[in-house]
Amino acid sequence: MKPPSFEYACPRSLAEALALLAEHAGEAKILAGGQSLVPILNLRLAEPKVLVDLNRVPELAFVRRENGSVRIGAMTRHRALEVSLEAEAAEPMLARAASLVGHLAIRNRGTIGGSLAHADPAAEWPLVAVALDARVTLRSVRSERRIAARELFLGPLSTAAFPEEILTEIAFPAAPPNSRYGLRELARRPGDFAVVAVACRVSFDDGGGCTMAALAVGGAHSIPLHVAEAERVLIGSRGEEAALREAAEVAARAVDPGSDVHGSAAYRRRMVAVLARRALGDAFGVPEASA
C-alpha cells in the first residue's frame, strides 16, 4: 500500500519545527528516522495532514557529557551512539543497546528520539531509558519540560508527550563508579524486536556488596517496566544464587505479558525469569554456566 496524501514540511530549525506543530496541532506527525513511521503510513494506520521532517534540524543531533550525565539529542542516529566513545565512556550500556537495534541500515537512519517517541514496549531504547532512570526533554512553542523516562510511557505506542511537543533530548546518568550492567534480549533473529529483554545496572561497595540496583523488563508488558521490588531483593547481596534467582522470579511475577505468534504469555513470563537471571549474572560477575 501507499501512504495517504499529506503536506510535507522540512524545517531548518527547532523553532520552525515547533511553530509547525503548533499551527497544525493534532494533525501533524514528526518524521525522524522514519523506520517505524513510514510502514505505519503505508498501512494507513496513521493519516496525518502534515509531515514535519526533522532531518534538517542539526541542533537536535549531539552527544555531550556534562554534570554527571550524557545528554543525547533526539535526532542522534543509533549507529552514532553505537560508535560514540563519549557515550560509551559515560555509560557503556548505551553502545551495547545501540548495537542491538535492528540491522545496520536501520541503525544508520533510525534515531534515539524517534524510538522513544514511538514507544514500542519491545524496543531497546525505551527499556534502557527506564532501567537507567533517564530524563527526557519535551519542547513546545510555549514551554519546555523534563520528565523521567519512567513517566513517559503510558502504553503501547503511547507517551505523555502532547501533540504539539517534540522530544528534543534524553539525559542518561553516567554509570556510577564500581558498577556493572547486564543487558539480555531474546529475539527470533538478530535485528528483530525483542520477544523479551532485561536491562540492569548494579553498584557495589568495596567489599563487593550491592549498594544500588536498577532493573527493567521490555517486551513482556504494555510498557518497559521498572521492577523496584526486584531491586530491593538485591541490596546487600554479593551475587548469591538464591538472591539472583529470587530477583529474577520477582521480575517475572511483575509483568503482565500478552500472547502472539512469537510466544505465549506463559512463555514470555518464563523468559523474563531466565533473562533477568542472566542479566543479573552479568552485572554481578557470576558465570552463566552456574545458572
Q: Could you tell me the CATH number of the domain that includes residue 203?
A: 3.30.390.50
**Spatial strand order in the sheet of 50-53:** 7-9, 50-53, 28-31
Which pLDDT value is given to residue 197?
98
220 located within any domain: yes
Residues 45 and 86 in one domain: no
82 located within any domain: yes
Mean pLDDT for the stretch of residues 193-213: 96
Distance (Å, whole) CA 122 – CA 111: 16
**pLDDT category of residue 288 using cuts at 50, 70 and 90:** low
Residues 123 and 215 in one domain: no
Percentage of the chain surpassing pLDDT 70?
Answer: 98
- Using the predicted structure, report yes or no on whether residue 289 has a pLDDT greater than 80: no
Report how far apart, in Å, the C-alpha atoms of 46 and of each of 23, 41, 87 are: 19, 5, 34
Residues 234 and 276 in one domain: yes
Residues 187 and 256 in one domain: yes
State the residue range of the domain holding 266: 181-285
Residues 20 and 96 in one domain: no
Mean pLDDT for the stretch of residues 241-250: 97
- The number of domains in the chain is 3
Mean pLDDT for the stretch of residues 163-189: 96
Residues 42 and 78 in one domain: no
CATH number of the domain encompassing residue 145: 3.30.465.10
1 located within any domain: no
In this structure, the number of other CB atoms found within 10 A of the CB of residue 117 comes to 24
Domain endpoint, select from 138, 155, 173: 173
2 located within any domain: no
Residues 185 and 161 in one domain: no
165 located within any domain: yes
Which pLDDT value is given to residue 287?
73
Which pLDDT value is given to residue 18?
97
Phi-psi region of 179 (alpha: psi -120 to 50; beta: other; left: phi over 0): beta
- Using the predicted structure, report yes or no on whether residue 108 has a pLDDT greater than 50: yes
Domain endpoint, select from 53, 69, 90: 53
Which pLDDT value is given to residue 2?
83
Residues 164 and 210 in one domain: no
pTM (predicted TM-score): 0.94
How far out from the chain centre does Cα 44 lie? 26
Mean pLDDT, the chain, integer: 95
Strands (E), the chain: 7-9, 28-31, 50-53, 63-66, 69-73, 135-139, 144-148, 153-155, 158-159, 166-173, 179-186, 196-204, 210-218, 225-226
Which pLDDT value is given to residue 3?
85
- Using the predicted structure, report yes or no on whether residue 291 has a pLDDT greater than 50: no
Residues 62 and 47 in one domain: no
Residues 40 and 64 in one domain: no
291 located within any domain: no
Residues 85 and 135 in one domain: yes
Which pLDDT value is given to residue 290?
44
Residues 210 and 257 in one domain: yes
Q: Any idea what DSSP says for residue 59?
A: G
